[in-house]
Structure 1
Amino acid sequence: MENTDEMLQMMKVLTEEIKLIRLGQKEYMKEIIELKKENKDLREKLLELENKITKMEKSTEELCFKAQEKLQQQKRALRKNNIIIKGLEINEQTVIKEAETLIGNLQDNIKIKEIGLINKQKNIVLVKLSTWEDKKKIMMNNNKLSKSGVKNVYVY
């Protein structure tokens, strides 16, 4: 009988331990369910953030593209009034005077903003004019160069 009592005692102890293990398992299952829910929520938030980042990247790219286009348009607008003179026999001291004289021979009353020597060896001069109309007048009278005896000088 002792054996039976001992076995019953052991079974009671084992039953109690099994109950405790099952209680622990229930608590772990609750924790796992909560963690899965939290994980799901975090994944959804992560997906939302990734979508927002993608949208922001696209809008940033669009803004950069628009800014580049605008910058190019502004550069084009600034260059639109410029002319290039090639072939003038000049040096750094007389570049302004020679270019003004040449432009004056082509057209009167031209407003020049700036004159600069671009390439000394090739005698290339950049002339920035105030308006597109001034450039147009000069380009229309470009043929006067050869008529006035000026040779190997070109206006672009």
Structure 2
Amino acid sequence: MTNLLTRAFEALRTAGPEAVLTHHTALALYGCKAADRGIVHVLVPDQRRVRSRPGVDVHHGDFSIRDVENVHGLRVLSLDHALAHVLCREASSVALACFEQAVERYPPDHRGAFAERVGRCIRARADHRGQRKALLMLRSCYRLAA
């Protein structure tokens, strides 16, 4: 984890004060062991001109400051939003494993509300690619987790 924290800190420093960690990097910091730790994923506002480089994948898009949390002293996109990105864009097996690990953070009687929040994040994405797949997977995952 130390190596990931060091690389994530450096990626945020380079990307600027509005940047947040997202996708697999955020999920790994929340404790999802299935998340890929090889590349640091950073989300920056659309108007910020930051480019990907070896080991750092920069994503451009809008996000609300309300959806940013402090994890290990780093700015990280909330668990439900980061999971929505992975469910929409990643291989089903990895996304399913990440969802199962994320939902375990909650007591059984709160897991339905968490799944609903993730579903709202999926539907609210400006990038509609993968939404149908993600929502189907979410329904399937939630039946397993409930």
- Shorter-chain TM-score above 0.5: no
More helix by share: 1
TM-score grouping bracket, smaller chain normalisation = under 0.3
Rg larger for: 1
TM-score (norm 2): 0.27
